[in-house]
Structure 1
Amino acid sequence: MSESHTPAPGRFRCCGVLIDGYAPASAVNALLDSRHGTARQTHLCNAFTLSLALRDDEYRGMLNDADINFSDGHYLAKVGLKRGESAMTERVYGPDLMFNTMDAGRERGLRHYLYGASPETVAKLKVELEAKLPGVDIVAAESPPFRPLTSEEATELEKRVAEAAPDVFWVGLGTPRQDQFVHEYADRLACTLVPVGAAFDFWSGNKPMAPKFVQKNGLEWAYRLATEPRRLWKRYLVGNTMFVYGVMTDRRRNSRES
C-alpha cells in the first residue's frame, strides 16, 4: 500500500474491517494528493459492504488490504464517532466525494478517468460533469463489459490508462464487483482507484439522488428502497440487519483479532 501526502486520521474496526476516520473535507484532500504513477486502493464502506465482509473472509481481507476505507454509511460514521474518531460527524458520501474532488481538482489539474455503467450512461456522465464543472479534466469515459476482463482486455486497458495518465480512476460497477476491480487493478493501472457505484447514475441524471435532509437523517436507504424495491430489498433489509448484528458483536470479534 502507498502513502498519501495528506496525514491519515485514526482507524477503527467495524464488522472486521478497518475504517479510516476521514470526514468529507479531509477525504477530498486525500484524493487531491493522487498522482498518476502512484497506485492506491480505496473503498467506500457502508452497511451493505460490511454485511458482505462479515460473511466473506476473502472480501473482508481485500478491504483490509486497501490504502483507505472511507465511511460511506451514516450509521457507520456514527459508530466511528462513538469509538473515538471525533472528525466523523458525517459520512463520506460517494457521489459528493466524486463531485467535490473533481471540483477542487480543477485548480490542481487533476486528471480523471470514468470507468463503468453502460456506454450511454458513462458518455452522458462525462457531458454532465463537464457542464457542471467547466475546465474539469476528464481524460476518458469507458464502459467495460459486464463480466471479468480477459487477459487481453486487461492488457489493453492498462495501455489505455497509461496513455491517458489519469490521477484518479473512478469505478462505477456496483458492489462488490467494483471493490474486487479496485483490488485487482490498482497496481496495474498505477493511479488512485475509487469505487463510487451509484454516483454514475446520479450525476448522469439517470436516477434521482435522495434529498439532503433524507441523507442527513440516515434515511437514504429507505428512499432508495422505495424507488427500487425489487432490486434493493435484499441489500437494505438483509444487509442492514447483518450490519447491526456485526456492530453488536464487534467487541468479541475485535478481542480475537487484537
Structure 2
Amino acid sequence: MKRNILGVLVDATTYGQAVATVLDAARRRRPFALTALAVHGVMTGVLDREHAARLNSFDLVTPDGQPVRWALNALHRTGLTERVSGPTLTWHVLRAAADEGLPVYLYGSTEQTLDRLALNLQNTLPALKIAGREPSGFRTARPGEDREIADRITASGARIVLVGLGCPRQEIFVHAMRPLLQMPLLAVGAAFDFHAGILRRPPLWMRRHGLEWLWRLASEPRRLWRRYLKLNPHYLLLVAAQKTGLRRPVPPPPATDRTGSFPL
C-alpha cells in the first residue's frame, strides 16, 4: 500500500511481495513500472513536483535505504522490518526469473559494465536467459527513438527489463517507456555496478544502521558529497516536520502524459 513521504508515494512492501508482483506482471505480459527509492530518490521528487508526479505514477516504489523505511514506520506505522534495496531486489528478481525461464533485458550503464555483469550472472545463475543488453547512450532520445528501443526489447523475447541509468534519469526513462512495453521495467540504480563487481557493497552492519550513504560517500566523494551532505539533513528535517504536523505535503496526482524527451 502506498504511503505519503514528503509528497512522494512509497509502498510499504517486502522483498517477497515485490518479487511476486514483478513476476506476476512478467507472466501476464503486463506493463509495470518499479523503482527503489533511497533518500536521494525521494528528494528528487520533493525538489521537482513534476518528477514527483512521475514517481507517483509508478506501480511499485520500494523503500531503498533505511531512512525511507524509518520514515514509513514513523509516519504511517507500517511496521516494516527491512528495506527493499535495488541491488538486493534485483538479485531476487533475477533468481526468480532464472527459475521460471523468463528472459531479461539489461538497459543502461556502459558496454564494459554490461559485459562484466552478464559474465557474473552467467556464472552465478547459469539458468538465467539474458535476451539482450544495451548500454546507455548518455544523451537525450531523439523523436521516435522510444519506439525503436521498445521494438528492440520486444523482439528480443525479454519478459523483464532492468534499467540502470542512475536517479532520476532511470525513472524518467521507465515512465516514458512503460506504455510501449508489455512487461515490467525496473529502475535498479547502482545494481549493475554492484553485481558486475565494479562497486563493493558496505558491510551488513552499515546497511542495517542506515550508513550505506557514508560508505558510498567515502568511495565517490567528489561525485556524491552534495547528494549526501546536503540532501540527507534536508530530508530528515522535512520528515520531522511532516511527523509533527508542521508540514503537510500533498502528493501530486500521478503523471499520465509521457515525457517529450527522456535520457538514454
TM-score w.r.t. the length of structure 2 is: 0.88
Quick one: which amino acid aligns to residue 224 of structure 1?
A: R
In structure 2, the partner of 1:151 is 143
In structure 2, the partner of 1:6 is none
- Deviating runs (4+, > 4 A) in structure 1? 255-258
In structure 2, the partner of 1:7 is none
1:41-52 matches, cutoff 5 A: 41-52=33-44
SS of 1:18's equivalent in the other structure is: strand
In structure 1, what is the Cα distance between the partners aligned to 2:173 and 2:126? 30
In structure 2, what is the Cα distance between the partners aligned to 1:18 and 1:170? 21
Residue of structure 1 aligned with 2:52, choices 41, 60, 71: 60
Quick one: which amino acid aligns to residue 45 of structure 2?
A: A
CA deviations on 1:90-137 (whole Å, 9 max, x unpaired) are: 110111100111112222222211001111111211111111111011
SS of 1:186's equivalent in the other structure is: helix
Structure 1 vs Structure 2 CA RMSD: 1.7
Residue of structure 2 aligned with 1:24, choices 15, 33, 37: 15
CA deviations on 1:131-172 (whole Å, 9 max, x unpaired) are: 111101111111020012212432321211111232211000
TM-score w.r.t. the length of structure 1 is: 0.90
What is the total number of aligned residue pairs between the two structures?
A: 248
CA deviations on 1:176-209 (whole Å, 9 max, x unpaired) are: 1001001111111221111111111111111111
SS of 1:193's equivalent in the other structure is: strand
In structure 1, the partner of 2:255 is none
Of structures 1 and 2, the one scoring higher in RCO (CA 8 A, sep 6+) is 2
Deviation at 1:243, TM superposition (A): 1.2
Residue of structure 2 aligned with 1:92, choices 67, 74, 84: 84
Contact 1:94 1:196 in 2 (8 A): yes
Kindly tell me: are residues 245 and 103 of structure 1, through their superposed partners in 2, closer, same or farther at Cα, counting changes over 3 Å?
same
Quick one: which amino acid aligns to residue 210 of structure 2?
A: G
In structure 2, the partner of 1:212 is 204
In structure 2, the partner of 1:14 is 5
* Contiguous gaps of at least 5 residues in structure 1: 1-9
In structure 2, what is the Cα distance between the partners aligned to 1:135 and 1:256? 45
In structure 1, what is the Cα distance between the partners aligned to 2:99 and 2:155? 22
* Contiguous gaps of at least 5 residues in structure 2: 253-264
